Amino acid sequence: MTATFGTQLRGMKGKRERWRDLSPMRRREALYGLAFVSPWIIGLLLFSLFPFVASFVMSFTRYDVINPPVWIGLANYQEIFSGDSLFLKSLLNTAYYVVGSVAIRIVLAFSLAMLLNSKVRFLGVWRTLFYIPSTVPIVAISMVWIYILNARYGLLNWFLSLLGQGRIRWLSSPAYAMNGLLVMSTTWVGVTMIIFLAGLQNIPEEYYDAARIDGASWLQRLRRVTLPLITPTIFLNVLINIISAFQVFNQVFIMTQGGPRDATRTYMLHLYNHAFEFLPPQMGYASALAWILFIILFVFTAIVVMTSDRWVFYND
Amino acid sequence: MATVSERGALQEPMVQVRKPPQFYIGRALLYALLIACSLWFIAPLIWMLMTSFMPLSQVGVFPPEWIPRVWQPENYTEALRFWNFGVTFRNTMIITIFSLAGSLISSTIVAYGFARFRFPFRDVLFLILLATLMLPFAVRLIPVYIVYNEIGWVNTFYPLVVPEWFGNAFFIFLGRQFFRGIQQDFLDSAKIDGASELRIFTQIMVPLAKPAIVVMAILSVQNSWNEFLGPLIYLKDENLHTLAIGLYKFTSLPGQGGMQHQQMAATVMMVIPVLAVFFLFQKQFIQGANLSGIKG
């Protein structure tokens, strides 16, 4: 997908066609094309562009849905950066979750894909077993994991006790609650794994054969052949996982409601509380929070995309 | 395979070399790892299923027990007394079906437009389409909610269904890749026969794009079934709750605290349809995941 993005961007330079230069036949074609894509253009204006601009404007207002919005300038932003202790707390919690879950999930998904790519028998069966939890609705997963992470009788503590580890209060202690959610996030790496597997299967076998003839060890083949060639896939997966991890909400809302002592209060939960749980609702404030999130994500994406020239190798 | 007799080795020009013992140790380790990983992914689901049949006295014991001492299917009927499964199921189906129809029809049309016609700003528009895939939903959430609130769409299914009729960006991307891969020859002969663009699209291209459309359909159903935040915000009325919301509310019902066996029964009821669809359309599920990573 990101490769498409790059190709598009490169291909656009220098070929601009003006309407009046088009032949009647090409005009007909253009009209057909526009007619076909018009549903999406309308949708873009209604459901993306309008809300995008509107939330920016709203972030400078106080708005409780019942009374008309009041322009208050930068007051929301001042409040967020100076008066809202939960803003920083939730941002740090989210950052912790993003770093932890992206790192764990990328390494895990890549390792699983490597396992599956090593000419195993019953590939389809293993792949299915690894993929199943990724199809289960997050509400259902959360319901099950509330009990799995239970300190007294949960499966996870039972499993750890077999390894000689004492009980951990996963969801009830501020120190471990977020880690509990990180452990849980390892169970739905299916999509990331499949994308990695497809990437690995695209690497020509001859490269490995050549490396083997040169006497390269397994580790050297991994470092010198696999990793460089799989960088576009890593890039895509890191990007997808960062964007979704930044907006983590459902499991936190269902399992902990941000507790204990705000240890799992994530950015989206904080935003949700201001918009949909506070009375009166603080839509302007929540919009300001949304825009700060957007800018953070935009900067992150830009960094990943811009540094990608240095570490992503496109073989095309 | 590795035990080739002396004579066999002599007869065949290619000698089957006996693999070194490290190979078998490696393979054994590999399969041990695969089994361990499978357990990690599957154990929670097996535990959920087993707990859903257990008597209350058996839940919350340590070490956890896996096999119900007494099989209690009545956990399910008990759970259904608390949870109006029928209504939430019906609501989820309504949303799923109308979103499915909308996103398939609109995304296929738009994808074809991007793939087959040249028009000014086409590439810029497609770039914007890809960019919207990365736009965080938080930025859209609030203004869209306010508009729906103004026009009286809160407590209706419209906010969850109507946007799907304007094309799903990811499905459009998928469909475009697919349409671009279809041979042009078909079209030329159809055009010579005087078929209109609309006929070419509906009678030639759509049937050809069936594999891509099936992948879209599965992803769409999965989205609707799993969606949580949307229904949470828009469907306040209990009669409009979806399965996801119903299951979430189930724990907070009076008398449900600690009723773990019934909660697991309710969870199983929500998961079974998804798993059934997964096993029926496994290939397409994997393809769908695959396509999100394709180089195009």
Overall residue count recorded for chain A in this entry: 316
Averaged pLDDT of chain B: 85
Question: B123 and A11: CB-CB below 8 Å?
Answer: yes
Domain B79-291, architecture per CATH: Orthogonal Bundle (1.10)
Which residues numbered 230-269 in B keep a CB inside 8 Å of some CB on A? 232-233, 243-244, 247-248, 251, 260, 263-264, 266-267
- Over 60: is that where the pLDDT of B13 sits? no
Give the pLDDT score at B3.
Answer: 41
User: Hunting for tokens 């950066």 — which residue is that?
Assistant: A81
| Best residue in B41, B110, B124 for a mutation probing chain A (most A CBs within 10 Å) | B41
Cβ-contact B28, A117 below 8 angstroms: no
Tokens of B294: 């394709």
Interface of A with B in 111-150 (CB under 8 A): 112, 115, 118, 120, 126-133, 135-141, 143-145, 147-148
Report angle CA A86, A91, A95 to the nearest 5 degrees: 150
CB contact (8 A) between residue B294 and residue A237: no
Domain spans in chain A, listed from the N-terminal domain onward: 20-75, 79-135+189-311
Q: Give residue B156's pLDDT.
A: 95
Phi and psi for A61 in degrees, rounded to 5? -125, 165
Domain boundaries, chain B: 6-75, 79-291
Q: Which two tokens stand for residue B275?
A: 């798993």
- The ipTM assigned to this model is 0.85
Cis peptide before B63 (omega within 30 of 0): yes
**Tokens read off for B40:** 């990690």
Q: What is the mean pLDDT of residues B65-93?
A: 89
Using CA atoms, how far apart are residues A55 and B147, in angstroms rounded to an integer?
12
The average confidence (pLDDT) of chain A is 88
Q: What is the pLDDT of residues A245-265, one digit of tens each?
A: 999 999 999 998 887 889 999
Which of A36, A62, A243 is most worth mutating to test chain B (most B CB atoms within 10 A of its CB)?
A36
B244-275 residue pLDDT tens: 999 998 877 666 666 888 889 999 999 998 89
Reported confidence tier of residue A110, pLDDT bands at 50, 70, 90 = very high
pLDDT at B295: 42
Highest mean pLDDT among A166-170, A303-307, A311-315, B157-161: B157-161
pLDDT reported for residue A216: 87
Q: Do A268 and A93 meet the contact criterion of CB atoms below 8 Å apart? A: no
What topology is assigned to A79-135+189-311 in CATH?
Answer: MetI-like fold (1.10.3720)
Q: Which residue of A17, A18, A39 is in closest CB contact with B167?
A: A39
Across A161-185, average pLDDT: 90
| Residue A307: exposure state from Cβ atoms within 10 A (0-12, 13-18, ≥19) | exposed
Higher-pLDDT residue of A10 and A291 is A291
pLDDT in tens, B165-201: 999 999 999 899 888 887 777 677 777 777 788 888 8
Mean pLDDT of A172-191: 92
What is residue B201's predicted lDDT score, i.e. its pLDDT?
87
Q: Do B136 and A293 touch (CB under 8 A)?
A: yes
